[in-house]
């Protein structure tokens, strides 16, 4: 006898580009075959918000009507606010999967530190949800997300089937190629690099100075072949496992001698 009471997996979808982003619709298409899709996303763009949460004004959540079976909500907050609101106000039990994106623009290398897309995935880790952040190396509003769908579904299928280590999520970045085809997937490490900020000084109509953030990315290991930057530059989808544990364990051993230092305050008391 067939069991018709089988629980349908629940998939939470969010992003940092807002509810009208093309990348969000592409991500919905990626995960639709895997279960019931619930979207809780910022009502407007929140790029560069990292793990920020809203504490200075009330949060509001609004449900939107759609022509499919996707439950769709917007929140007047950050990507992390969206995850928290979803878990507290929308979803009754822990989702089987959380996906974030698809971001307009790469979140490779140190960009993860600034990324609202990846912050939402990391927040999913904190709730014990297998989580993936997706980004496309194309900042244009006309970006073509079509090539990401099949590859994204392959990655989602692996995570749904095998799960992820507790406290670990995936940072997935798609390259942009001339023919729209990818050379495959590279499981790799985060590239070492830095953003070199430059602030362009301007003057508003009232004669007041203001500054506009510009800058460029400096790849500090351009010859490395095992990084996400190398993978993207060579037409591969980069997949970097990311942990919420930021501890540098090798550095703990190196500086362990600090434990042998007695308190200067205690020494002062002994000398009195």
CATH code at position 28: 3.40.1210.10
Q: Is residue 204 part of a domain?
A: no
Q: Is residue 165 part of a domain?
A: yes
Say if residues 133 and 27 touch (Cβ distance below 8 Å). no
| Structural domains in the chain (count) | 1
Q: Is residue 37 part of a domain?
A: yes
| CB count in 10 Å sphere of residue 44 | 11
Residue (of 79, 95, 93) closest to 131 by Cα position = 95
* CA 47/CA 131 separation, integer angstroms: 19
* CA 163/CA 172 separation, integer angstroms: 16
Q: Is residue 150 part of a domain?
A: yes
Q: Is residue 207 part of a domain?
A: no
Q: Is residue 247 part of a domain?
A: yes
> Can you give the pLDDT at residue 267?
62
Q: Which domain holds residue 242?
A: 10-190+223-270
Q: pLDDT 10s per residue in the chain (272 long)?
A: 344 446 889 999 999 999 999 999 999 999 999 999 999 999 998 888 899 999 999 999 999 999 999 999 999 999 999 999 999 999 989 999 999 999 999 999 999 999 999 999 999 999 999 999 999 999 888 899 999 999 999 999 999 999 999 999 999 999 999 888 999 999 999 999 988 888 888 999 999 998 888 887 888 899 999 999 999 999 999 999 999 999 999 999 999 999 988 776 666 656 66
Q: Which two tokens stand for residue 139?
A: 């900042």
Helix segments in the chain, DSSP class H: 22-31, 79-85, 116-126, 146-162, 228-233, 249-254, 264-270
Q: Is residue 208 part of a domain?
A: no
Q: Is residue 4 part of a domain?
A: no
């Amino acid at each position: 006898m067939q069991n018709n009471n089988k629980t349908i997996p629940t998939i939470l979808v969010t992003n940092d580009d807002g509810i009208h982003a093309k990348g969000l619709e592409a991500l919905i298409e990626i995960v639709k075959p895997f279960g019931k899709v619930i979207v809780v996303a910022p009502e407007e763009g929140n790029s560069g918000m990292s793990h920020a949460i809203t504490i200075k004004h009330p949060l509001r959540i609004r449900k939107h009507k759609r022509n499919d079976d996707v439950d769709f909500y917007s929140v007047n907050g950050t990507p992390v606010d969206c995850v928290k609101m979803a878990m507290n106000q929308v979803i009754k039990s822990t989702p089987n999967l959380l996906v974030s994106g698809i971001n307009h623009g790469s979140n490779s290398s140190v960009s993860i530190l600034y990324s609202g897309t990846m912050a939402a995935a990391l927040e999913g880790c904190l709730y014990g949800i297998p989580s993936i952040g997706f980004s496309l190396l194309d900042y244009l509003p006309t970006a073509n997300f079509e090539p990401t769908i099949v590859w994204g579904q392959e990655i989602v299928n692996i995570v749904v089937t095998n799960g992820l280590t507790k406290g670990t999520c995936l940072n997935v970045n798609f390259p942009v190629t001339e023919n729209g085809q990818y050379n495959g997937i590279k499981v790799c490490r985060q590239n070492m690099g830095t953003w070199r900020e430059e602030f362009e000084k301007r003057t508003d109509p009232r004669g007041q100075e203001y500054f506009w953030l510009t800058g460029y990315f400096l790849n500090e290991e351009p010859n490395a072949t095992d990084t996400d930057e190398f993978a993207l530059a060579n037409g591969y989808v980069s997949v970097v496992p990311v942990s919420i544990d930021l501890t540098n364990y090798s550095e703990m051993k190196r500086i362990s001698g600090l434990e042998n230092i007695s308190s200067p305050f205690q020494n002062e008391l002994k000398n009195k």
